[in-house]
Chains A and B, each alone.
Chain A
Amino acid sequence: MSATTERGAAVGAVGSVAAGADGAAAATPVISVHVPPHSLASELRAIRIVWQRDLIRFVNDRIRIAATLVQPLLFLFVLGSGLQRLSSAGTHGVNLKTFIYPGILCIAVMFTAMFSAASIVWDREFGFLREMMVAPVRRSSIVIGKCLGGATVACSQGIIMILLAGLVHVPYAPLLILAIFGLQLLLAFTITAFGVMIAARIKQMQAFFGVMQMIVMPMFFISGALFPASGLPQWLEILNRLDPLTYAVDPMRRLVFSHLHVSAAARAALDPGVTWWGWHVPGLLEAGVIALLGLAMLAVAIAEFSRVE
């Protein structure tokens, strides 16, 4: 079918060239178009369209939406229900699913954000990156648009996880939901920036996912998403405090626990909070750590992409 379309078009085009050569003026006037010099407004337009593209692609890709949800749901319901039988003594009557829910809220956006960043590697492989790289816009606009796109897409997954709160005995309090969402957005942005930074250097999809697996899984396990961050063996405690994800999981858990009715003993055991040399790190500072890391990685990503010829 497409062959005939093409042939038809070919004949049409050759015909119209002949007509043009005969001196017949073009039927419709040419629409005059002008590309203005660059300005702040034009860069914002570039950021918006790069962001929008990620959204359009995500909405069209239902399989991906489903696939990235599988892993967090597995952790939450299978691991949560299964291990509950072993650990009911240690959780002071709190359901294990409720305990790991804050961690799952974090990793759900983390996996999706990684996927979004990976699309830069695809774009390079399929050539589309070039279309963006030769456009008369700053590379920084492209990178920022990409990170915002990844964060938005990841947060749409995050919302699905928030909606599950009732199933793990967490109340639907508007303020809680808002705070969780804000924290997810921050984490998603930082993780996308991290992925984009890696994608600037790693050009093959397999290698990219390999590196991601190597970094993401340890980050997840060490972060305290599945266990309280106190009373750990010292080596693990050190690793835990170095893991950036710790500073997303901890405030997330504090938020959720502040809306639960649990005994003081359960709170002390399950939500001890992260400490630095005995000092209790406040939630806002933890969020600040995530934000700062995100901005630093965004800066590196921009520098990397601006350097490429």
Chain B
Amino acid sequence: MSDSAATDAGIVSTARSPDGAAVWVDGLVKRYAEVEAVRGIDFEVATGEVFGFLGPNGAGKTTTINMLCTLVKPTAGAARVAGHDVVRERDDVRRNIGLVFQDPTLDAYLTAAQNLRLHAELYRLEKKVIAPRMRQVLEMVGLWERRSSTVGTFSGGMRRRLEIARGMMHSPRVLFLDEPTIGLDPQTRRSIWGYIGELREREEITIFMTTHYMDEAEWCDRIAIMDHGQIVALDAPEELKSQVGHDRVTINTDDDDAAIAALRERFGVEARVHEGAVTFGVPGGEQFVPRLFDEWDPAHPPIRSVSVSRPTLDDVFMSHTGTTIRDAEEDQAKNRNRMMVQMMGGGRR
């Protein structure tokens, strides 16, 4: 629905200028001692847009958000948020943004209302608007009745909702959500997305979020796919999917290796095992299936089932990075483990 509007506002303009954009990033780099977490990224987010950062853990999403929120100083490049420079005008940036972090940042010993009150005081809101505004944001996330309960008694989902309410308390122009639904059950995830949808209906706000859930990225007007500290693709989700140009075919066999070899020899397609099934991409998947069965040699392992699906964001991710997001994370976990083992071994010697 809003894809086209967002595309018109953001991407089509070729002359990039910092004026008017909610977020404007130019050649942003963050280098830690040995690691280059963010390797020179450029993008801009139009006012009113829901912009998503998609990528595996460790891709540089959180580092980017931290730079935009003035929590981390960029090594190089520039960024402006709500019209203010993130290095030189830190205070002005902070006044105009709301933050919901991956990890909880509530005071569990205070009540929901006390947490919001504290936030309102730190953000110096006008005294007389605090009470009505508090009611409004608490009602939005369905916690008004629980305002006098200690946050310690809240479930994970309720806490996240309260964090979103708090992030909205001071009417930020840009709301940053770092993995807003991580670790939540599907039901609560949906409700969180409900609030985000409602927010953009009601308030003039730009939402910048990170996620590594593919299905959630679909909610965004535009998404940037991030991998190894770089943006590898940036467009509306539909556009990205149509760029993939092929459908995903998944087959189940008794001998995956033999099936992969057969696919390579006879059909010239490179298949891989993903999540327990042989998977490959072909243009026109529905037309390919009859051909597959016609030409499938009886000597090959019999095919138990076939499914064809339109490209998903997973496929988009794979076509740009050569791996699925889940595999990317597993590889990283393995690397980390290997490094730890090496370090421990080195220490002992």
List A residues at the B interface (Cβ < 8 Å). Answer: 2-3, 5-10, 12-14, 16-17, 20-21, 26, 28, 30-38, 42, 45-46, 48-49, 53, 56-57, 60-61, 123, 126-128, 130-137, 309
Query: With A13-B198, A35-B123, A309-B71 known to touch, is A56 a contact of B170 (CB < 8 Å)?
Result: no
A34 touches B201 (CB 8 A): no
A21 touches B187 (CB 8 A): no
Closest to B134 in A: A31
Q: Which residue of the partner chain, among A34, A48, A133, contacts B171 with CB atoms under 8 Å?
A: A34
Query: With A6-B187, A33-B125, A56-B114 known to touch, is A127 a contact of B103 (CB < 8 Å)?
Result: yes
A31 touches B132 (CB 8 A): yes
A9 touches B142 (CB 8 A): yes
Q: Which residue of the partner chain, among B95, B133, B169, contacts A136 with CB atoms under 8 Å?
A: B95
Chain B nearest CB from A167 CB (Å) reads 33
Q: Which residue of the partner chain, among B70, B105, B198, contacts A127 with CB atoms under 8 Å?
A: B105
Chain A nearest CB from B106 CB (Å) reads 7
Complex: how many Å from CA A36 to CA B121? 12
User: What would 13 A/B residue contacts be, using CB atoms closer than 8 Å?
Assistant: A5-B142, A17-B198, A20-B198, A30-B171, A31-B132, A33-B171, A35-B96, A38-B91, A46-B124, A126-B104, A127-B105, A131-B107, A136-B124
Residues of the B chain whose Cβ atoms lie less than 8 Å from the Cβ of A131: 105-107, 119, 122
Complex: how many Å from CA A132 to CA B119? 8
A126 touches B94 (CB 8 A): no
B304 within 8 A of A: no
Interface size on B, residues (CB 8 A): 56
A134 touches B94 (CB 8 A): yes
Chain B nearest CB from A226 CB (Å) reads 35
B101 touches A53 (CB 8 A): no
Residues of the B chain whose Cβ atoms lie less than 8 Å from the Cβ of A123: 107
A57 touches B155 (CB 8 A): no
For B95-138 the 0/1 string (1 means CB < 8 A from A) is 11001010111111110001001110111111001001100100
Residues of the B chain whose Cβ atoms lie less than 8 Å from the Cβ of A42: 124
B124 touches A35 (CB 8 A): yes
B194 within 8 A of A: yes
Closest to B194 in A: A13
